C-alpha cells in the first residue's frame, strides 16, 4: 500500500518520523486534550512526575499551583507524603479548578479529565467531598474510558469546624483507602 500524503504540525511530524503512531491509549480522546498544550495546563503537566502511582487534587490546588499558594497547605502535603513514606515521584498534583478574576475557583473538568488520562495514575485521591462530587459525575460520564483504570477515593480534608485535619489523621484515612 502506498503512503498517503497528509499535513502534520512540526510537533507531530517529529513524532511521526520517530515511528510513534499513537499518543493516547485506545478509546475516547477527551476534548480537553487541546487545553494541555496551553497555559496554565501545559505548565502544570510539565511539573508532574513521569509515572506517578496516584494523583491528588483538591479545590484550591489551582490557586496553589498558580502562584497563590497557601504555605500551610504546602507543608501539609509534604508532611503527608513523608508520613505515608511514599517514594519520590509517586504523587502528582493535578487541579480540576482554577481561580478566576473576581471569583473563587472555577471547575474546568475537560482539561482535568484529559490530564488524568495522560498522567494515567492507578489512584485518584480527591480531598474534600465538595471536590469529589463534580469529579465523580465527570468520571461517570466518561464511562469506560476512565472507569476500571483508576481507583477514586475521597478523603475529607477538613473537620466539622472547617479546620484542616492534622497530617496524622489524613495519613490514617489514606492508609485505609490505599491498603498501606
| Sequence-distant (≥ 6) Cβ neighbours of residue 5 within 8 angstroms | none
Query: What confidence score (pLDDT) does residue 178 get?
Result: 81
Structural domains of the chain in order of their starting residue, each with its CATH number: 31-178 (3.40.50)
Query: What confidence score (pLDDT) does residue 14 get?
Result: 54
Q: Which three cell numbers stand for residue 74?
A: 504546602
Q: How would DSSP label each residue in 64-120? A: HHTT---HHHHHHHHHHHHHTTPPTTSEEE--SEEE-TTSSEEE-HHHHHHHHHHH-
Query: What confidence score (pLDDT) does residue 10 get?
Result: 58
Query: What confidence score (pLDDT) does residue 80 get?
Result: 95
- C-alpha distance across the termini of the chain, in Å: 53
For the chain, residues with pLDDT lower than 70 are: 1-31, 144-149, 180
Q: Which of 35, 103, 115 is nearest to 63 (CA)?
A: 103
Q: How does pLDDT run across 161-180, given as a tens digit for each residue?
A: 989 999 999 999 999 888 76
Nearest-angstrom CA–CA distance, 116 and 110: 10
102: left (phi over 0), alpha (psi -120 to 50) or beta: left
Query: What confidence score (pLDDT) does residue 55 get?
Result: 96
Query: What confidence score (pLDDT) does residue 4 get?
Result: 39
Phi and psi, residue 51, nearest 5°:
-145, 65
Nearest-angstrom CA–CA distance, 170 and 178: 12
Mean pLDDT of the chain, nearest integer:
83
DSSP state of 144: G
| Sequence-distant (≥ 6) Cβ neighbours of residue 41 within 8 angstroms | 35, 111, 115
Amino acid at each position: 500500500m502506498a503512503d498517503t500524503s497528509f499535513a502534520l504540525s512540526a510537533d507531530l511530524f517529529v513524532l511521526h518520523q520517530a515511528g510513534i503512531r499513537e499518543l493516547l491509549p485506545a478509546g475516547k480522546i477527551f476534548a480537553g486534550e487541546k487545553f494541555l498544550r496551553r497555559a496554565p495546563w501545559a505548565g502544570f503537566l510539565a511539573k508532574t512526575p513521569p509515572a506517578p502511582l496516584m494523583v491528588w487534587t483538591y479545590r484550591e490546588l489551582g490557586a496553589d499551583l498558580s502562584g497563590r499558594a497557601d504555605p500551610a497547605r504546602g507543608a501539609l502535603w509534604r508532611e503527608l507524603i513523608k508520613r505515608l513514606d511514599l517514594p519520590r515521584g509517586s504523587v502528582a498534583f493535578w487541579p480540576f479548578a482554577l481561580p478566576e478574576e473576581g471569583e473563587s475557583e472555577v471547575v474546568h473538568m475537560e482539561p482535568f479529565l484529559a490530564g488524568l488520562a495522560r498522567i494515567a495514575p492507578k489512584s485518584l485521591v480527591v480531598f474534600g467531598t465538595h471536590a469529589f462530587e463534580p469529579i465523580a459525575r465527570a468520571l461517570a460520564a466518561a464511562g469506560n474510558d476512565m472507569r476500571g483504570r483508576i481507583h477514586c477515593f475521597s478523603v475529607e480534608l477538613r473537620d466539622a469546624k472547617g479546620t484542616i485535619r492534622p497530617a496524622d489523621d489524613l495519613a490514617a484515612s489514606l492508609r485505609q483507602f490505599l491498603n498501606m
